[in-house]
Every structure is written in structure tokens, then in C-alpha cells.
Structure 1
Amino acid sequence: MLKKMLLVSTILLAWTTGPARAAGPSDAVYPYLGIDWGGEVFVGAALPFGMVKVGPDMETFDGFHIGSGYAGTGRVLGFSHLHLSGASGKYGNILVAPVTGEVIPADIKSVRVDEVAKVGYYAATLTRYQTRVELTATPRVGLHRYTFLTGGDAHITVNLAAILNKGPGSESQKFLGAELKVISPTAIEGVGRYTGGWNEGGEYQVYFHMEVDHVPARVRTWAGGPPSPDATATVDGDQPIGASFDFNAQPGEVVQVKVGLSFVSAAQAHRTVEKEAPGWDFDAIRAQATAAWDRALSPIAVTGGSDDQRRQLYTALYHTMLMPSDRTGENPSWTSTEPYYDDYYTLWDTFRTSGPLLTLIAPERQRDLVRSLVDIYRHEGYLPDGRSGNDTGRTQGGSNAEVVIADAYVKGLTGIDYKTAYAGMRKDAEVPPQDPRKWGRGGLMEYNAKGYLSLANERSGSRTVEYAYDDFAIATLACGLGRREEAKLYAQRSGNWSNLWDPALVKEGVKGFLRPRNPDGSWAEPNTLKRGTWPDFFYEGDEWTYSLYAPHDVARLVALSGGKAGFLRRLDTLFLKRHFDMSNEPGFLLPLYYNWIGRPDRTADMTVYALEREFLGTHGGIPGNDDSGAMSSWLIFQMLGFFPVAGQDVYLISTPSFPEADLDLGEGKHFRVIAHNLDAERFNRYVQSATLNGQPLETNWFRHGQIKDGGVLELVMGPEPTRWGTGTPPPSLSDTTADRPMLCVPASQP
């Protein structure tokens, strides 16, 4: 017994410490941040934007399978290789699990203890099987190291029928069938076929090549029945299928496993294993994964702040870089020399913050993401909003790829075919799609004819305002490409949001809200849902949020709300009466709207309030689904002290969380934000004065062009508001002048 205890203690020490290395930014990442209360973040091993995300799939103690894979409590069902982060309802493919004793494919599950989660690494002990699990990854290979603590009858199993969110529902996944074969005493390969998920996607096929590091006593397969010695297995339809490598393990024996994936062929999965993980040095692969994360996280360096704040910042950056998935060379639908990314889940969530963040600190990555969107348009005929499993869908609101492309253009990203991108944007705005849940804009003919969507179309309120802003994005690129008449047309359409504005609608002393219209143009009953869904007037938001969705013309919102005093009353009511919903993306910009009425002090109050109430460095630290890092990237900008207006070249100043932050913009360029007198309690939250690149900055905003080559934003903070930032507001379309251009042509309001 003492010998066994010493063995386990020695192994646990090695697992916990890992390879020796100098400290890096990845050490501040806390992968458990956001696992509870709906954050749905991925826990497991992956690389930045990696295709493989290998981690545990779990069920609750009462047998409910977790739709996103991981949960803080429950039983582990195995370790699959494809996951989302901040979302659920897709993947969970190629499930590998160690087993001791008899293999019963329908009953593989265990409680886990002594869990460790770090960037590029996961470990836990499965108590039922007395097996220590370790996982790491390359971009397209999952590596497993299993230590059988007690020895005896031991197995490494793979289950091709397992998927997340399995069921008959419209948003559920379905298993269609699979085949596998034993190709050597230590290797098997095959393919599984799946369909469905939240995006209602079509069939996707996952090919795999799996190897173990030494010869087992035997290899068995199963297909609709118990394990057998057959070297091949095939099922059509939803039936069990899998395989088992069987060992007579000694106590403490280690078995290593490599699983390479491909969406093209098993042969390509095999080649990927040979290329990315040619040997069996698990620790070296883990070290490479950690180094990759250190490089990816290094463009943001902060000084000061608390350990908890650094944990939040770097974990948020980590979460932002888990998706989309780089599948260049793994596109089963067409061959292209362009980058290919999947798991845009979805642009509706990420266009506001994640894209602008990558444009600053990873411009080559964002360039490739935009190129992949444009290439999808070339081959499918529409720009995507959501895409997963190599299939586009669903479109929740507007055609927001337009904003992503415009944002890249106004911030000078090069290497993008903007002419083709513009053609895709115009098609969204002019050609009704056959399936509006999948592509383009639903209700487009009515929108273009009337300037709004009526209740004849679902989500008519939220889609009207999103279409209007998407039209502004089209006008922006049209202007830049010299298409002046088209720029004028789409600039005019960008005012369509106001066609649903009812100036007579008053609530809680606030005047003017968006209101549904009947197909004949008459007003319908006001919408009172707190958070609508697919068939409702507003999608995942309410009238308080969507009535303010005009990021390109906040000045007009101010005017329609009764001027600065009326707008102040409106914003204060929104926040103080708890109408603001931090857990969903449509309201991301609202705490900054005070800047347009010369009240940056209120921006400071509301952003600090959101940071302290909604974001924590704990298991429940994200206010809702992280949505592919959308929530996390919102947090990053707010902690840095400035915030993007997506699709425009404008940043709004708020309140930093760190005395100094350095952003590496690439090519030796750095942008620094220095906050003097910042205190840990955030009492000194108000900007007293500012300079940008050594020159006095009187506005509460600045342009991307002022920092694109690097620079320094220096803020003097204090405990009370001053006159700083109360003068010239950020630009709006309706107050365009020659010295404050929004577009290169004047735009009249409809």
C-alpha cells in the first residue's frame, strides 16, 4: 500500500508541475472562469484558433448530457475532439475514454477528481477506472496520456456515435452513421457522419486517424452490438459503433494516444498526425502548446492592477482566441488558395468587439478571417453570419459580415479583395435569399420598398435596425471604392431605423421608442417582451435596447429623445431601472452612449458598474454565454479604457483598469494607455485631462488613424468629473461636416 501511495504521489507531482519554463502571460489564464451560470466556455486542450479542441464531455449526476460538453460537476463520459466555446449544441465528435474492467459501450462514465486545467493542457483522475487522464493538442491532433494506477484489464475506447445535444429537436444533433477499420495492431481510422445542431446545419463528416504508442493485447470493434474481434465496423443510422484497444496493464503503466482529425479524408488525418505529432513526446507537445498561447496572448501587456484583474484580462483574451477554427486545407466543399475558417458562431455576436480587437493586436489573423468570409461568398453566393460544421446558418439579425468588412477597410487592413467583398455586401442588400435563416436578409423586398420590416416578417424590429446599420457599412465601403452614387443610396437607407420610431410612445418618462408596424403601415401594439426570440419583434433584446441601435447616428437619437437632457434621462432610466442587459450583445455600446452628450463621467460610472457587477474572476464570472469570446472581448476593451464603434474608425474613452497597458500592433508599433492616479478601488474613475501622442486631447474619443502607427494615450484620473470631454461629441452621420467626415459624400435623411 505504501509503495502504491508513493507511486501515485510521484505521478501527481509531475502532472501538477509540468515542464519547467519561464513565466508567461498564459500563466494568468484561468480556464474555469465562466464555466457556470451559462458561460459555456470550453475546458480542455486547444491552440489559438485551433481546429481540435479536445476536452471532457459530461453529464449531470441525474443523467442530463451537457450541451456544451463541460460542467463544474457531474460525470465524465469521455474526451471528444471538437467543441465550441461560449456556445452549445454542436460537435462532441470522436469520443475517447479509458476503461478498466469489462467494456460496456453504453456504460462508460466516471466521476473525476484532482482536475487541472491550463492553456493547452487538461488532466483529471477518473475514480471509477483509477486512471489518470492528460490531454494536450496541436492544431489538428489531440494527444492523450493515460496512466492506469492499479493495473489489470485496461482499455482505450473510441465512440463514433457520441455527439453533444443529441436528440430529435430542430436544434439538436443527429448521428447518421459511421465506419471504421483496424489498419495495424496500433492504429484505427474511419469517419463519422453527423447533422444538425443549433445552426440547423447539413451533414458534416469527421474523419479520424487514431494510434496508441505500444501494441495492445487485442483490438476489438462494435457496430450495433457487443465488442467483437472484427477488424471493420459499419453502421447506417443511429446505432452504437466504436473500438477498443485492450491492454493487460501493470500498475502505473502509461498508454499514449494520438487522434488526428480531418474533414476531407482519413488519409489526410493520418498525414496530419505524422506532420504535427510525429513522435510520442507528450511533454514537448504540451510545451509547444503553452508557447503558442504565450505568443498569442503577448500583444497585450499590463502593469499594475490586481491578480484578479490580470486573470480576467488574459482569460478573456484566451477565450477570444478559441474561435473561429482555422480549417485552411480542410474544406470538403471546394478547393481554394484562400484561408478557410469555420465556427463563426456567430458574427451577430462577435462583430462588435472580437473583430475590432483582433484588428488591433492580430491584424494578420483578422485579415485572414475576412478573406475567408469573402471566399465563402465566392463559392456559396452569400456572406455568412453563422457557420459551423462547414455549413452556413443561422442568420439571427442583419447581414453583419458587412460591418466586419467595413471595420477592416476603415482601419486599413490590406490583402483583402474589397471589390469582391463589396459585391457580396450588395447582394445581401439587393437579392432576397431562398432561405433567410441561412443567408442574406429575410424580408428584403419589403425592407427596400418600405424602409422597414412590418409584422409580416419575424424579428422585424431588430432586423430593421440591423439592416440599417449594415447599409451604413455598405455605404462606407462604396465610398472608399469610389462608388459615390451607391454610397449615397446606402447612406440614405441607413436611416431606415427611424421609420419604426414612434415619437408619441412614452414609458417611465422617456419619450420615443421603436414600435411594430402592421403590413399596411399602421402602428401595431407596442412590443413589451423583455427578450424576444426567433418569431418576435425584437431578437434577444427589448425596446430599451433596440430603440437605441443606431451606432452611426447617435446624434439623431439624441435629437429624437428630446436633446441632451432627454437623452440623459433616457440613459439613466435604462441603467438605473435595470433595463440594461449585459448578458447579450445588442447593448454592448450603450454604456458609452453618454459620450455623445458630453457626459463621459456617466460612461465611467456605468462601465465600472458593469465591470464590478457582471464580470468576476470566478466560475460564474461571465454574464451569460461567452458567445465565441464576444463577452470576453467586451471586457478586454473596457479594462483597457477605450472601446470601438464597430464598422467605424472611432474609439470611445471610458475608464482603464490598469495604470498602464501596452498593445503590440505588429511591425514594431505599440499603442500605450497610461492612466495616472488610478486607484485600486476605482474611486479615481473620471478623466481629468488627456493627451494623445503628446498633444492635448479634449474629446472623449479618437480615431484609429491616430494610433495605427502606434502612440500613447495618457489619462489623468481623479475622483470627480471635470469639463474634460464635454465638448465635441463623437461623429454621427446626421452631423457630418467637412472636418468631421463619416462618409465621402453628404447623406440626407429620408
Structure 2
Amino acid sequence: MLKKILLASTVLLAVASAPAQAADGGPAGPSQSVYPYLGIDWGGEVFVGAALPFGMVKVGPDMETFDGFHIGSGYAGTGRVLGFSHLHLSGAAGKYGNILVAPVTGDMNPADIKSVRVDEVAKVGYYAATLTRYQTRAELTATPRVGLHRYTFLAGGDAHVTVNLAAILGKGPGAESQKFLGADLTVVSPTVVEGVGRYTGGWNEGGEYKVYFHMVVDHTPARVRTWAGGTPSEDKAAKVEGDQPIGASFDFTTQPDDVVQVKVGLSFVSTTQARRTVEKEAPGWDFDAVRARATTTWDRALSPITVSGASDDQRRQLYTALYHTMLMPSDRTGENPGWTSAEPYYDDYYTLWDTFRTSGPLFTLIAPQRQRDLVRSLVDIYRHEGYLPDGRSGNDTGRTQGGSNAEVVIADAYVKGLTGIDYKTAYAGMRKDAEVPPQDPRKWGRGGLMEYNAKGYLSLANERSGSRTVEYAYDDFAIAEVACGLGRTEDATLYAQRSGNWANLWDPTLTKEGVKGFLRPKNPDGSWAEPNTLKRGTWPDFFYEADEWTYSLYAPHDVARLVALSGGKAGFLRRLDTLFLKRHFDMSNEPGFLLPLYYNWIGRPDRTADMNVYALEREFLSSHGGIPGNDDSGAMSSWLIFQMLGFFPNAGQDIYLISTPSFPEADLDLGNGKHFRIIAHNLDGERFNRYVQSATLNGQPLETNWFRHGQIKDGGVLDLVMGPEPTRWGTGTPPPSLSDPAGERPMLCVPPPQP
């Protein structure tokens, strides 16, 4: 039978590489183009396993290298499988890995459960592999809050299904490590074990979080054993305080090819709620039916974007990116241990600093109800905890890397007309960020706020003073937008003025490689400090996760002023060309996401097209190493989606910038029967015809290289004629900037969206 299993796996792998086709012979859904392995190598840290869109449970393998190093994100292309845990991040590491289930054969030693795997298959909502040490075929699927396991014991004999509560990812003594605090479990019946584990820490340095579980097997075992710091026994309960082993084992005597199925329901509230979730979401034992529902759910979630004329590789990149973008945040509505609320509750934003630029604007277009609920969740967190979050995971906020970027997320929803959001309360949270210093500046709000508000910048007396100054300035612009719309005229004026603070660190004399004008640190007395030359700083440095080339250009609301400070259009062109051609641009991190589009402000959309094609072809691939850095909750993936579609949001504003499409035609379903289509005539597969020759929007000539959200919110068609050389198209009126004459500025004052 082992040969039969291996043959079946080989067939599955062959099918995975063949042209997508539905089971009934018709066209396959978009989920068939998803390649979950895209991004597993070179730091992408994407999740591999079974999950649903925005699902709480993400059940997949946790692994170690052959040298014994535990993988911080869970999965790796090589190494040994330690088991299958039920909570993971995607595009990030150092959190979760809770409730680790593993099949074992022969003697069971809880301290030595690991195996090489072969014949692995990863699909949306499904994972399978054969564990060679245990001669066991493991299969996983999921509902939103239940992980389902199917284990085929190929050789027969003594077999065990174990659960380990002490296992976590990123375990250790470091400041960003997780720690196991203790757990207890109970054997409820011969087929049921339930309990709770307590954990703390991780990258966000979060407080304690509890994971309750209800685990049931479909066959009565010969016995159930537990362990608590020692060898397994037949005790019906186990409890530990502190970092000690604890777990349980269902022990079976099996015949070759016997199958044992397992359901694990999770809750952050109680074991009772975990049990009820299992009964509601996975009442029977039809593994294949659950998997089929997962596929259908993903097809529906991925369907708002359809493309024609795409190559197989392009479809793989597009739909895998969309899949990755929808793995986080996690919908935990009804699973909030902190307070009871009728509002939606989401966790694992992890972090807005990464996702506000691209993921939020994407959901606003293709999943507006989801984005509405995400914003409502942010506002509800403010109601109950006193500040809007930036990073949040494990039901706890932390850490704030840069600005208070919930402001940009809320403003983006506001100016694009998302309804059903309490914008008055949201505005109160935004204003508190800008006025009330937090006790813990890495957890809440804005660090160094008193100095920023007094001087208009942060000095070296505060960490990350360069990157936080420019981010605070843009956050203030976002506050001004909402304040003006809500009739808070004085506030709008104040925050619009503060939004210019980014220029207070601009040294016009600082010159690098022929480019003049860069951000420079200031001492607490206001004098210039030595220029910052770090390539990529971190928490205590002047710039966070980028350098002077990137952060000196962070003024998304006033690029026109950047152009003027850089010596006009010619100087700005020289600056951008130096940035890109001398490889100062870092595609692997979020602060530079908008930079390839900056050419649009100086009438050079041809250079925007060049730099985006360059980034798409050099930095993004359809293979294991296909993401240039951490995917960061889908931030990288959503950047790719917009660039492949051929337009890009200036997050927090109602502006989209035109670049160059990758498809002859794309259709975005905006909901309620509304569609936005992008048609690129004469586009060739080699992307030689990358330059827009002329354009119409909704049948009217479009001479600008940008358009507003209001022009497409009810649907429309962007028609682009492409060609092999630049023309005069898009060289006239630039995208809006705050320093423009009043009538040409970004949309600053709109009334609240009406239901």
C-alpha cells in the first residue's frame, strides 16, 4: 500500500503542474492557480498549510532544520516536521505555533517526535505529506476555527496521535521570543481531550494569551495517556506551571492503512466555546467535504479579480499574491477575551505599518465589507483600550514601529466613502494619537510626542527620530482630512500645518552622489548631527528599516514640495534615477513602496513603467524565492497585485497612479454589480509595449497619469493604448500635492460617507 500511496501522491503532484481544470472538466476556479510554496525561500516566511480567508485557524507543519534549528515561521523547504500546530502568521515569524498535533508509530517519546517528510502536497485549504519515520500519511484541512487531520498509518502496529501544549514557535529567552507559561488538560472521554495553554511574548512583545482547545478522534483508542513534566501515564488530567512538557496521546493498535481522523477546535475564550465551534463548523467526519468547502470558499474570495491574456506564471503570481493577502488579519469575532462587543473583532494586524500602504486599499476595492469590518475593529479596540493599534497579535497591541498608521487606514476608508464606520469615534482615536503621549511608546500612540508637537520634529533624544518624524507628518495629514470632513475646521488647519513637519529635518546642503537635499538628524538643541548613513536601521536608529534615500522622499501628500526641494523636475529626475539605477531602492521593505510611482509627479510615466517592469521581473518570481522579503501579512503580495493590474493607490488619499499593466484585460468586481475594468491594447508578452500612448476613463479622454477613486467607485473602464516608446501622454498635470493651489490639492474636505 505504501507504493499505492506514493503513486497517488505522484499523480497529485502531476495534476498540480498540469493546466488547471475543475473536477467536472470545466474551467477551474482561481484557487487552482495558487501556489502556496511561492515565497517560502529567501525570507518570504509565508504560511504553508490549511486555512480559510482571514481564518483564525491556520493548521500546518512546524519544522526544524537538519541542524536542529526551529523555524520561526513554522515552515521550511527542507528539514524535519515536528508536528502540525494550529496558529500561524504569514509573512512573519516569532509568534504562535500552538497546540501541536503529531502522529507517531512504535514507541512514543514526547521529547523525540520529528520526521522527514516526502510526497508533500500544498493546495488552498489542504496540506498532505508522508512522514517517513512513522510511515504515516498526514492530511490537513480546516474550517475558520477548526483544524481537521486525517492520518493513514501505512504499516500498522502501535500508533499514536499526540498533542503537545508546550510547543511554540520562536521559543527562547530573548526580548522577541515566546515563552510557555503553563497549561492544563483533561481527558474528557476516551475520544476527547481538552484544555488550555498559556503563552506570552513573540515579536510584538505581547502579554499573556490563552489558547483553549477541544480535540476529538473518530475511533476509540486502546488508551489515552497524559504527561506533565515526566513520562506518560494514564492520569486523566495534567497540569504544569512554567516551561515544562505537557501533552496527551491517543494510543491505537492499527492494521496497515488504518485511518484515524482528528478535529481540533480552538478558542481564546473557553474550552466550552472550542467544543461548540467543533460541533458547529465540523459536525461530522467527512474530511473530503470539508476540504471541498474550503476550496469553494477560496474560489469565492479570489474571484473579484479576473484577468485575460495572462501566462500561467502570471496567473500563479497574481492569485497566490491575493491568497497571501487574505491570510491575515484573523477574524476572531466572538473570540475576544478582553471585552464583549457587538463590533467585529480582528487580530494579527501585524502590522499596520506594513499593510496600510497596499492591503487596505486593495480590500477597499474588492472586499469593501471586509475592510469596513477591519476598520470597525480598529475603532472598537480604541474604545476599550484607549489607543488605536498599529501592531497587534495574540490579542495584545505592540509594537509601534513608526507612526500611528491607523490614521492612514481610517482616512483611506473615509475619503473613499466606506460606510458603516463610526468616524466620530475613529476621529477621537486619531486625535488622541496626535495629542496624548503614551506611557509605553513602543506599544501605543506616538513616542516623543511632546517634542514633535513643540518643535515640529523629533531629535536624537528619541529613537527612530527620522522615520517617525516623516510618518507622524503624514499621519497628521490623514487627521486633517477627516477633521475637515467632520467640520472640525480648526483641527483641520492645525494638522494640515503639522503635515509639513517632514521638511524640518531636510538639510538642503547635504549632497550624495550628485543629489542635493536629504533628511538629517538633529541634536536636542536643534543643531545638525552627523548624517545618518545606515543602510537599514532598526529600533534605536534614526531611520527604521530603510535609509536616507528612501525616507528623505517620504511625503506622499506633498511630492510637489519634494520636487521643488530637489531642484525642480530635472533635479528630481536625477534623484530618482540615482535612487533606482544605483540600487539604493530596496524592494524588500515597505517604506519605499510608492517610490517607483514618483516619476508621475514630474511627467515621466515612462520611467514609472520602466521601474515597475524592472521590479516585477527582478524581484518577484513564480517560484519558491518569489517574494523579495518578508511578505508581512500580505503587504508585499498586495503591492505586486496593484502593479500587475497597472495602477497603484496613494494610501490615505483618493488618488490612484497609473503605471503599466501586466495583462491585456483585468476586471475588478467592486460589489453590488459594479466592475472596474483595465484594458491594455497592444500589450505584448515581453512587455516591450509598456508605455501608455493614450487613455480614456469611462469613455472620456484621460490625459493625466492618475485618477480619483470617485471616478471608479461605481464601476468603469480604464482603456489604455500601449506602445514601444514614450509619448506626450501623462506629461502634463501631475498628481495632486498639498502645496498645490487650493483647487488642485488632494481631496481634503469631504462630508462623512452616507449609508
Q: TM-score, normalised by structure 1?
A: 0.98
Query: Which of 199, 223, 228 pairs up with 1:223?
Result: 228
The aligned residue for residue 514 of structure 2 is: 509
Query: Which of 401, 409, 420 pairs up with 2:406?
Result: 401
Paired with 1:742 and 1:10, the residues of 2 have a C-alpha distance of: 58
The answer to whether the Cα contact below 8 Å between 1:40 and 1:626 also exists between their aligned partners in 2 is yes
Q: 1:727 to 1:441 in 2, by over 3 A?
A: same
Query: Which of 593, 596, 601 pairs up with 1:596?
Result: 601
Q: Does 1:280 align with 2:288?
A: no
Q: Offset of 1:319 from its aligned partner?
A: 0.2
The answer to whether the Cα contact below 8 Å between 1:732 and 1:742 also exists between their aligned partners in 2 is no
Query: Which of 684, 694, 697 pairs up with 1:692?
Result: 697
Paired with 1:645 and 1:175, the residues of 2 have a C-alpha distance of: 42
Paired with 1:575 and 1:363, the residues of 2 have a C-alpha distance of: 34
1:232-271 superposed matches below 5 A: 232-271=237-276
Q: Does 1:376 align with 2:381?
A: yes
Q: Offset of 1:229 from its aligned partner?
A: 0.5
1:466-615 superposed matches below 5 A: 466-615=471-620
Paired with 1:388 and 1:7, the residues of 2 have a C-alpha distance of: 39
Q: 1:11 to 1:250 in 2, by over 3 A?
A: farther
Q: 1:97 to 1:729 in 2, by over 3 A?
A: same
The answer to whether the Cα contact below 8 Å between 1:52 and 1:261 also exists between their aligned partners in 2 is yes
Paired with 1:25 and 1:742, the residues of 2 have a C-alpha distance of: 36
Aligned residue type for 1:93: N
The aligned residue for residue 727 of structure 2 is: 722
Percent pairwise identity: 89
The answer to whether the Cα contact below 8 Å between 1:325 and 1:343 also exists between their aligned partners in 2 is yes
Q: Offset of 1:16 from its aligned partner?
A: 8.3
Q: Does 1:341 align with 2:346?
A: yes
Q: Offset of 1:20 from its aligned partner?
A: 3.5
Query: Which of 450, 461, 466 pairs up with 2:466?
Result: 461
The answer to whether the Cα contact below 8 Å between 1:674 and 1:715 also exists between their aligned partners in 2 is yes
Secondary structure of the 2:742 match is coil
Q: Does 1:125 align with 2:125?
A: no
The answer to whether the Cα contact below 8 Å between 1:582 and 1:623 also exists between their aligned partners in 2 is yes
The answer to whether the Cα contact below 8 Å between 1:553 and 1:734 also exists between their aligned partners in 2 is yes
The aligned residue for residue 435 of structure 1 is: 440
Q: Offset of 1:744 from its aligned partner?
A: 3.5
Q: Does 1:20 align with 2:23?
A: yes
Superposition CA RMSD, Å? 1.3
Paired with 1:14 and 1:450, the residues of 2 have a C-alpha distance of: 63
The aligned residue for residue 627 of structure 1 is: 632
Q: Does 1:314 align with 2:315?
A: no
> Which deviations, in whole Å up to 9, do the C-alpha atoms of 1:325-366 show, x marking residues without a partner?
000000000000000000011000000000000000000000
The aligned residue for residue 672 of structure 1 is: 677
Q: Does 1:300 align with 2:296?
A: no
The aligned residue for residue 76 of structure 2 is: 71
Q: Does 1:169 align with 2:174?
A: yes
Q: Offset of 1:5 from its aligned partner?
A: 3.5
> Which deviations, in whole Å up to 9, do the C-alpha atoms of 1:485-512 show, x marking residues without a partner?
1100000000000000000101100010
Aligned residue type for 1:33: L
Paired with 2:726 and 2:554, the residues of 1 have a C-alpha distance of: 27
Paired with 1:394 and 1:353, the residues of 2 have a C-alpha distance of: 20
Secondary structure of the 1:318 match is helix
Q: TM-score, normalised by structure 2?
A: 0.97
Secondary structure of the 2:557 match is coil
> Which deviations, in whole Å up to 9, do the C-alpha atoms of 1:180-218 show, x marking residues without a partner?
000011000000000000000000000000000010010
Q: Does 1:44 align with 2:15?
A: no
Q: 1:6 to 1:392 in 2, by over 3 A?
A: closer
In the alignment, structure 2 segments of 5+ residues that lack a partner are 17-21, 751-755
1:94-105 superposed matches below 5 A: 94-105=99-110
The aligned residue for residue 334 of structure 2 is: 329
The answer to whether the Cα contact below 8 Å between 2:737 and 2:744 also exists between their aligned partners in 1 is no
Q: Offset of 1:736 from its aligned partner?
A: 3.4
Secondary structure of the 1:312 match is helix
The answer to whether the Cα contact below 8 Å between 2:180 and 2:242 also exists between their aligned partners in 1 is yes
The aligned residue for residue 748 of structure 1 is: none
Aligned residue type for 2:88: H
Q: Does 1:106 align with 2:97?
A: no
Aligned residue type for 2:43: G
Aligned residue type for 2:491: E
Q: Offset of 1:13 from its aligned partner?
A: 5.6
The answer to whether the Cα contact below 8 Å between 1:15 and 1:123 also exists between their aligned partners in 2 is no
Paired with 2:696 and 2:560, the residues of 1 have a C-alpha distance of: 25
The answer to whether the Cα contact below 8 Å between 1:733 and 1:742 also exists between their aligned partners in 2 is no
Aligned residue type for 1:353: T
The answer to whether the Cα contact below 8 Å between 1:26 and 1:119 also exists between their aligned partners in 2 is yes
Paired with 2:178 and 2:680, the residues of 1 have a C-alpha distance of: 49
Paired with 1:647 and 1:274, the residues of 2 have a C-alpha distance of: 42
Q: 1:8 to 1:587 in 2, by over 3 A?
A: closer
Q: 1:730 to 1:115 in 2, by over 3 A?
A: same
The answer to whether the Cα contact below 8 Å between 2:738 and 2:745 also exists between their aligned partners in 1 is no
The answer to whether the Cα contact below 8 Å between 2:653 and 2:746 also exists between their aligned partners in 1 is no
Q: 1:517 to 1:280 in 2, by over 3 A?
A: same
> Which deviations, in whole Å up to 9, do the C-alpha atoms of 1:270-326 show, x marking residues without a partner?
000000000000000000000000000000000012110110000000000000000
Q: 1:14 to 1:729 in 2, by over 3 A?
A: closer
Q: Offset of 1:9 from its aligned partner?
A: 4.0
The aligned residue for residue 753 of structure 2 is: none
Paired with 1:736 and 1:310, the residues of 2 have a C-alpha distance of: 43
The answer to whether the Cα contact below 8 Å between 2:44 and 2:627 also exists between their aligned partners in 1 is yes
Secondary structure of the 1:275 match is helix
Aligned residue type for 1:548: L
Aligned residue type for 1:515: R
> Which deviations, in whole Å up to 9, do the C-alpha atoms of 1:655-677 show, x marking residues without a partner?
00000000000000000000000
1:347-362 superposed matches below 5 A: 347-362=352-367
